[in-house]
Amino acid sequence: MKKIAALFLDATDRADWREALSEVADIVCLTVDGDLASALRALRDSTADTDFGVVMLSARLYPEAYPELAVRLRAICPEAEFLVISREAGAPPLRSLLADRIRHLTISAKHDLAGGEQLPAVIAMLAQRRPWDAASCLKTGTPVHSFELGSSEDKEGVIGALERVLAGQGDEIELLRQKASLLADELMENAMYGAPRASHGVPMFRKGEKRQMLPHEVIVFSFGFDGETLALNLTDNWGSLEPDQVLECLTRNADGYQDADECGGRGLFIVWRFLDQFHVSVQPGRRTAVGGQLHLASKLDPATPRGFHIIEEEIAA
């Protein structure tokens, strides 16, 4: 098992995350305290026996205080997954993360919040480089319903099935139902019209046109609801969504939505903002999975930035 590294700005910053990281084993915590060179030397020394699988950076340290940090760390830990951890008030600008190809961001409240992410679970997922699993966030025994799309006409039927699983009265469940149907709509539209690419990356189908799935094409929408948490996942077997393209699209829409009618990738941006936790995993040319979870009583504001996890899966030889 590879080790975990965590770098903090100072002792106050480190103390702020102590409780959240208390259950993480094999973690090396370093405090920069104004001397980055020493902290990096200590990190390099720690790699003598085992490499780091995950490197965590506090958002108080990166990108604002030390914008060059990600580049310097990659030289020491070239194989590690990089995760920026941030409090809601200090979420980092996505443009820096995009430039440094950092594909994991967790934004957590100081105290447990419905829909909030648990760092130990995130770190375990990254350390093993395993994609997010819809069942993992649901209570044991919760059924996960899966629908393979045969044609574009199936979309509304699948959304109807999802809405029936979320039956009930009250403001919270009504809002969850509305969010869920929009998320399902965006995920299926992206898979049916965004994913299929001909040579040179040209889209094969026009948005909105009626279409049958191709003989080799597999698009599966899955969901489960355990009474509190809704998990949604869409997989296609195109694998055409590039990890960097995901972050680029989130950044572009977050930065400049006043020109958003000309801006691509808005569907993915909406999915990111409405989910409590957003996960993408890609096996290039083989498989894309986009999904995440949403809590019935989520207190996360869709108008504010959200965390994300974008994993490029290794293809077994």
Partner 1 sequence: MTTAKTSNNGSTACDYFALEGTIDLHSEALLMAIPAKVKHPVVRFDFAKAGRVNSMGVALLLRCFKEISGKAEIRLEGLSQMHAMLFKMTGVFLLATPAEQNKEGAA
Q: Using CB under 8 A as the criterion, which residues of the chain lie in contact with partner 1 when the complex forms?
A: 171, 175, 178-179, 181-182, 185-186, 189, 207-208, 253, 257-258, 260-261, 266-267, 269-270, 273-274, 302-303
Strand partners, 87: 108
Cβ neighbours for 19, distance < 8 A, ≥ 6 positions apart: none
Nearest approach, Cβ of residue 261 and partner 1 (Å): 4
Q: Are strands 27-31 and 81-87 parallel, antiparallel or unpaired?
A: unpaired
Nearest approach, Cβ of residue 105 and partner 1 (Å): 17
Q: Considering the complex, state which of residue 121 and residue 175 has its C-beta at the smaller distance from partner 1.
A: 175
Q: Considering the complex, state which of residue 67 and residue 208 has its C-beta at the smaller distance from partner 1.
A: 208
Nearest approach, Cβ of residue 274 and partner 1 (Å): 8
Three-point CA angle 137, 128, 306, nearest 5°: 50
Cα 276 to chain centroid distance, Å, stands at: 10
Cα separation of 232 and 215, whole Å?
Answer: 25
Nearest approach, Cβ of residue 114 and partner 1 (Å): 16
With tokens 């094969």, the residue in question is 204
Q: Considering the complex, state which of residue 79 and residue 171 has its C-beta at the smaller distance from partner 1.
A: 171
Q: Considering the complex, state which of residue 227 and residue 302 has its C-beta at the smaller distance from partner 1.
A: 302
Nearest approach, Cβ of residue 207 and partner 1 (Å): 6
Q: Considering the complex, state which of residue 9 and residue 249 has its C-beta at the smaller distance from partner 1.
A: 249
Nearest approach, Cβ of residue 132 and partner 1 (Å): 22
Q: Considering the complex, state which of residue 29 and residue 113 has its C-beta at the smaller distance from partner 1.
A: 113
Nearest approach, Cβ of residue 88 and partner 1 (Å): 16
Q: Considering the complex, state which of residue 60 and residue 273 has its C-beta at the smaller distance from partner 1.
A: 273
